[in-house]
Structure 1
Amino acid sequence: MTEASHASASGAAQALPETLQAPGPAPDDDSSGVDLRVTLPALALIIGIVVWGLTAPAGFTAVAGAALDWILTDLGWLFALVATGIVAFVIALGFSGYGRIKLGADEEEPEFSTPEWLAMMFAAGMGIGLLFYGTYEPLQHYMSPPPGRPERDAAGAFAHALLHWTLHPWAMYAIVGLAIGYSTFRMGRRQLISSAFVPLIGARRAAGPIGRVIDVLAVFSTVFGTAASLAVGATQIGAGLTYIGLIDGASTGLYLGVVVVLGVCYLASAMSGVGRGIRWLSNGNMVLAGILAGFLIIFGPTVAALDSIPVALGSYLDQLPRMSFRTAANQDGGAGEWLSAWTLFYWAWWVSWTPFVGMFLARISRGRTIREFIGGVLVVPTVVSAVWFAIFGGSAIHLERNGESVWGDGSPEGILFRMLGHLPAATIASAVAMILLATFFITSADSASTVMGTMSQGGRVTPAPWMSAIWGSMTGLVAVLFLVTGGEDTLSALQTILVVSGTPFLIVAALLVVSVAKGIAADPLFLDERERRRHERRLARERFLVGDPEAPGDPAGAAAAEGAGRRP
Structure 2
Amino acid sequence: MKKLTIVFWVALGILLFFVLFGIIAPSTFEFYSGELRGFIADTLGWYYLLVVTGFVLVCGFIVVSPFGKIKLGKPDDKPEYTYLTWFAMLFSAGMGIGLVFWGAAEPIAHFMTNAPTAETGSSEAIMEAMRFSFFHWGVHAWGIYAVVAMALAYFKFRKDAPGLISGTLGPVLGKYSRGPVGHAVDIIAVTATVVGVASTLGFGAVQINGGLDFLLGVGNNFTVQFIIILVVTVLFLISAYTGLNRGIKILSNVNLILAVTLFAFMFVFGPTLFNLNLFTNTIGTYIQQLPSMSFRIAPFEEEQRAWIDGWTIFYWAWWISWAPFVGSFIARVSKGRTLREFVLGVLLVPSIVGFLWFSIFGGSAIFLEQNGIAAISELATEEALFGVLDNYPMGAFMSVIAITLIATFFITSADSGTFILGMQTTNGSLTPPKTVKLIWGLMLSATASILLFTGGLEGLENAMIVAALPFSIIMILMTWSLIKSLRIEKAALDAEREKKRS
Tell me the TM-score normalized by structure 2.
0.96
Alpha-carbon RMSD: 1.5
8 Å CA contact 1:200, 1:514 repeated in 2: yes
Q: CA deviation at 1:410?
A: 4.1
Given that 2:209 and 2:220 are in contact with CA atoms closer than 8 Å, whether structure 1 keeps it comes out as yes
Partner of 1:188: 160
> Which of 240, 243, 247 matches 2:211?
240
Residue 384 (structure 2) pairs with residue 415 (structure 1): yes
Partner of 1:46: 15
Match of residue 136 from structure 2: 164
Q: Percent identity?
A: 39
Please name the residue that 2:322 is paired with.
Answer: 353
Distance in 1 (alpha carbons) for counterparts of 2:133 and 2:407: 23
Q: C-alpha separation between the residues in 2 aligned to 1:364 and 1:314?
A: 32
1:369-425 CA distance string (max 9 Å, x none) = 111111110110011000110111011101111101242524101110000000011
Give runs of aligned pairs for residues 58-69 of structure 1, distance below 5 A.
58-69=27-38
Alignment of 1:470 with 2:439, yes or no, is: yes
Conservation of the 8 A alpha-carbon contact between 1:80 and 1:324? yes
Matched, 1:504 2:500: no
Letter of the aligned partner of 1:211 in structure 2? G
Deviation, structure 1 residue 528: 2.6
- What are the superposed Cα offsets for residues 537-562 of structure 1, whole Å, 9 maximum, x if unpaired? xx5xxxxxxxxxxxxxxxxxxxxxxx
Displacement of 1:33 in angstroms is: 0.8
CA contact (8 A) 1:110 1:368 kept: yes
**Cα distance in 2, alignment partners of residues 464 and 404 from structure 1:** 54
Q: Whole-Å Cα distance in 2 between the matches of residues 64 and 244 of structure 1?
A: 34
Q: Out of 370, 379, 386, which is 1:401 matched to?
A: 370
CA contact (8 A) 2:42 2:309 kept: no
**C-alpha distance in 2 between matches for 1:194 and 1:146:** 41
The unaligned stretches of length 5 or more in structure 1 are 1-30, 540-568
Distance 1:464 1:178 in 2: 26
Residues 166 and 44 from structure 1, CA distance in 2 versus in 1: closer, same or farther, beyond 3 angstroms? same
Answer yes or no: is 1:442 the counterpart of 2:411. yes
Indicate conservation of the 8 Å contact 1:189/1:195, yes or no.
yes
Deviations along 1:118-158, whole A, 9 cap, x unmatched? 11111110101100000000111111234433323111111
Q: Tell me if the contact between 1:420 and 1:430 (Cα under 8 Å) persists in the aligned partners.
A: yes
The question of whether the paired residues in 2 share the 8 Å contact of 1:176 and 1:354 is answered with yes
- The question of 1:222 aligning with 2:188 is answered no
* 2:56 counterpart of 1:87: yes
- Report the CA distance between 1:107 and its aligned residue: 0.9
2:252, 2:497 → 1: CA distance? 45
Task: Return the index of the structure with the highest Cα Rg.
Answer: 1
Q: Residue 295 of structure 2: which of 321, 325, 336 is its match? A: 325
- The separation in 2 between residues aligned to 1:111 and 1:100, in whole angstroms, is 18
- 2:487 is matched with 521
| Residue 231, structure 1, aligned to residue 202, structure 2 | yes
Whether 1:199 and 2:168 are equivalent positions in the alignment is no
How many equivalent residue pairs?
Answer: 499
Residue 302 of structure 2 corresponds to residue 336 of structure 1: no
1:265 aligned to 2:235? Answer: yes
Partner of 2:268: 298
After TM superposition, list the pairs within 5 Å mapping 1:76-155 onto structure 2: 76-151=45-120, 152=122, 153-155=125-127
Question: How big is each residue's C-alpha offset from its partner over 1:184-204, in whole Å with a ceiling of 9 and x where there is no partner?
Answer: 0000111101001111111x2
- Do 1:135 and 1:392's aligned partners in 2 also have CA atoms closer than 8 Å? yes
Counterparts of 1:527 and 1:150, CA distance in 2: 58
User: d(CA) in 2 for partners of 1:271 and 1:248?
Assistant: 32
Q: Residue deviations 1:152-192, cap 9 Å, x none? A: 31111111111111101111111011001000000011110
Structure 2, unmatched stretches of 5+, are none
SS of corresponding position for 2:72: coil
Q: Which amino acid aligns with 1:469?
A: L
Report whether the alignment pairs 1:210 with 2:175. no
Q: Which amino acid aligns with 1:156?
A: E
Give the structure 1 partner of residue 285 of structure 2: 315
User: What CA distance in whole angstroms lies between the structure 2 residues aligned with 1:408 and 1:531?
Assistant: 63
Alignment partner of 1:150: what SS? coil
Aligned residue among 64, 68, 73 for 2:42: 73
Report the residue type matching 1:196 in the other structure: T
Q: Which has the higher mean CA deviation after the structures are superposed, 107-116 or 49-58?
A: 49-58
| Cα separation, 2, equivalents of 1:463 and 1:346 | 31
**1:389 maps onto 2:344 in alignment:** no
Give 1:181's aligned amino acid.
A
Asked if 2 retains the 8 angstrom alpha-carbon contact of 1:194 and 1:211, the reply is yes
User: Residues 34-81 of structure 1: CA distance to partner in whole angstroms, max 9, x if unpaired?
Assistant: 00x201111111111111122112211221122122212221111011
Q: 2:190 is aligned with what amino acid?
A: V
Please give the alpha-carbon distance, in whole angstroms, between the structure 2 residues aligned to 1:212 and 1:147.
Answer: 42
* Structure 1 position 337, deviation (Å): 2.4
Contact kept, 8 Å, 2:92 with 2:413, in 1: the verdict is yes
TM-score by length of 1: 0.85
Quick one: higher RCO (CA 8 Å, sep 6+), 1 or 2? 2
Match of 1:280 among 250, 270, 273: 250
CA contact (8 A) 2:104 2:358 kept: yes
Change (3 A) 1:176 1:409: same
Write the distance in 2 (CA, Å) between the matches of 1:528 and 1:420.
56
Equivalent in the alignment of 2:220: 250
In structure 2, what is the Cα distance between the partners aligned to 1:332 and 1:285?
42
- Give how far 1:526 is off: 4.6
Q: Secondary structure at the match of 1:522?
A: helix
Whether the aligned pair in 1 keeps the contact of 2:55 and 2:147 (CA below 8 Å) is yes
CA contact (8 A) 1:449 1:471 kept: yes
Q: What is the alpha-carbon distance in structure 1 between the residues aligned to residue 424 and residue 500 of structure 2? A: 43
Report SS of the residue matched to 1:462.
Answer: coil
Aligned CA distance change for structure 1 residues 530 and 149 (closer, same or farther; 3 Å): farther
Q: What residue is the counterpart of 1:27 in the other structure?
A: none
Q: Secondary structure at the match of 2:103?
A: helix
3-state DSSP of counterpart to 2:354: helix
Contact 2:369 2:376 in 1 (8 A): yes
User: Counterpart of 2:68 in 1: which secondary structure?
Assistant: helix
8 Å contact from structure 1 (residues 219, 455) kept in 2: yes
Give 1:432's aligned residue: 401
User: Aligned equivalents of 1:238 and 1:383: distance in 2?
Assistant: 29
Contact 2:112 2:377 in 1 (8 A): no
The answer to whether the 8 A contact 1:158-1:390 is kept is yes
Q: Kindly indicate whether residue 502 of structure 2 is the aligned counterpart of residue 532 of structure 1.
A: no
